[in-house]
Structure 1
Amino acid sequence: MKTAALQFALGALLLVGCSSGDLVSNEAAACDLVKTRVTESHRLPGSSRIAFCDRIPAADVPSEFYVLALHSDRKCEGICSTHLGWFAVQKSTSTVFDWNVAEWQLGQPVSQSQ
């Protein structure tokens, strides 16, 4: 993991601020927040299109975050993917970020509408 990049991203949080009134206290709450934020930011027709989250074990991610993959309820024949993306939720602020799996670091904050 690139420590300098993570420290930079964490420092940037002071500028971003809290993006939700309620702080997340567990992975289920983090999943619900990501579902809501992605639905809003991508203007999806409803959270019913987002089915579930896969979590990354806490031992494999920075302790300040819940990191998870978001999946749709897509049905298809043959080989397809339900993967919608990787996200991180900061525990202390409930800020939702894209998670860069290739670099294993924080990406940009997910805004209310992109």
Structure 2
Amino acid sequence: MTLTETAYAEIGLAFIAAVLLAGCAPAEEAPSVASADEACERTIATLVAERDYPADQMTGCDGWKSEEPDGFYVLRVNGYCHDPKGCGSVLMGWYAVEASTGAVYDWDVGEMQIGQRIDQKR
């Protein structure tokens, strides 16, 4: 093998190694959220992607920045009411979004604490 062939072979091996290692890189965290509206958008997108909720059935959220635990937005996701006379409840679930990472979790209303992370099935 000539010097040129050896150099090309080494470059090829380095390229293959780089491609393989890039596939092993950890997944990036979701960007941070700065408002309850952004947390709501992230939660609805997660529910559509991860739990197969129909996007057209969710109208939005009622939410606030939590003091306990600090650094989270707690959200109630609401669905559409299809009854013209009104509905008793349109609650689709309670969720928490970590402001610094944008990670989405179930919110345990009974215990008032964060549950399981739900935005990792990709």
TM-score (norm 2): 0.66
SS in 2 for 1:44: coil
Instruction: Point out 4+ residue stretches in structure 1 off by more than 6 angstroms.
Output: none
In the aligned structure 2, how far is the partner of 1:73 from the partner of 1:19?
Answer: 31
The aligned residue for residue 116 of structure 2 is 108
Q: 1:56 to 1:109 in 2, by over 3 A?
A: same
Shift of 1:58: 3.7
Shift of 1:19: 4.3
Shift of 1:85: 0.6
Equivalent position amino acid for 1:70 in 2: V
Q: 1:43 to 1:109 in 2, by over 3 A?
A: same
SS in 1 for 2:81: coil
Gaps in structure 1 of 5+ consecutive residues? 1-16
Structure label with greater radius of gyration: 2
Matched length: 95
Equivalent position amino acid for 1:64 in 2: G
Q: 1:27 to 1:79 in 2, by over 3 A?
A: closer
Equivalent position amino acid for 1:62 in 2: P
Cα RMSD (Å) of the superposition?
Answer: 2.4
The aligned residue for residue 49 of structure 2 is 40
Q: 1:25 to 1:57 in 2, by over 3 A?
A: closer
Tell whether 2:106 aligns with 1:92: no
